[in-house]
Amino acid sequence: MRLVVAASLFSFLAHAALGVTCPSDALAESSFVGTNFCADGAPAAVGPGMLSSSSYDVAAFYFGAQYCGICKQKLAMMYDAWERLPAESKARTLVAGFGKQEYSAHNPLFCKGTLSSAEADALWSAWGIQQRDMVILVRTDSETWRSYCKFSMNLYDEDFERVLHHVLAQGANAFAIGLGTGGAISSSRGMMGPVAVGCLVAAVATSTVFS
């Protein structure tokens, strides 16, 4: 059992140490559209299936459980980054939250300002979503979109605003951008860089082998 736990932790931390590069592997096309459950949200329905007929050029979709306090913090971080955009860029950018049907009793917690949120179990499944994942999509022409990047807000929340500005400026041909490690899983928001990750991985490995 300890070997399994250590292996899982090693895989997670090694991934964190290596960092993530956007664009990441393309996600499957999806026609999903979910009904917005936020009273002040706009638009009334959100999802990849409504993007081609919209006026947006960039979409940022955040995934989390509606009851989760940390998920709510990350959602608010995304919305606040959108709020700081110039008016023209805000009009070009859709930000939305996607929860799950089983947590629908907590839907009001997944709303802020004019943010739209929806229950999107099908999208979680289609895209292999993990708790607190972020997916950024970009328009490629008048009718089509593609995913630009998928990353965890557990580790790369502090990179979100930079990536958003990057794709707004570069569009469908946005060049690769690296995301640094850091950004806490807990509300204390402690930092963990590659050196610290390496030390922790080594410690776990040593403990597992010799104890």
Q: How far apart are CA 170 and CA 104, in angstroms?
A: 37
pLDDT in tens, the chain (211 residues): 454 334 444 444 444 445 789 999 999 999 999 999 999 999 999 999 999 999 999 999 999 999 999 999 999 999 999 999 999 999 999 999 999 999 999 999 999 999 999 999 999 999 999 999 999 999 999 999 999 999 999 999 999 999 999 999 999 989 999 998 443 333 333 333 443 334 333 443 433 333 3
User: Between vectors from CA 134 to CA 102 and to CA 159, what angle results, nearest 5°?
Assistant: 145
Omega of the bond leading into 194 within 30 degrees of 0 (cis)? no
Pick from 122, 134, 98: nearest CA to 24: 134
pLDDT of residue 20: 85
pLDDT of residue 60: 98
pLDDT of residue 18: 55
Q: How many CA atoms lie within 13 A of 21 on its CB side?
A: 4
CATH of domain 29-180: 3.40.30.10
Q: What is the pTM of this model?
A: 0.79
pLDDT of residue 206: 37
**Who's near 102: CB < 8 A, 6+ residues apart?**
none
pLDDT of residue 113: 95
Q: What is the CA radius of gyration of the chain?
A: 18
Q: How far apart are CA 46 and CA 95, in angstroms?
A: 9
pLDDT of residue 195: 37
Going by their DSSP bridges, the two strands 20-22 and 58-63 should be labelled as: unpaired
Long-range contacts of 119-126 (CB under 8 A, 24+ apart): 119/34, 119/37, 120/32, 120/34, 120/47, 120/63, 122/30, 122/32, 123/30, 123/32, 123/34, 123/47, 123/48, 123/61, 123/63, 123/98, 124/63, 124/98, 124/100, 126/27, 126/28, 126/30, 126/32
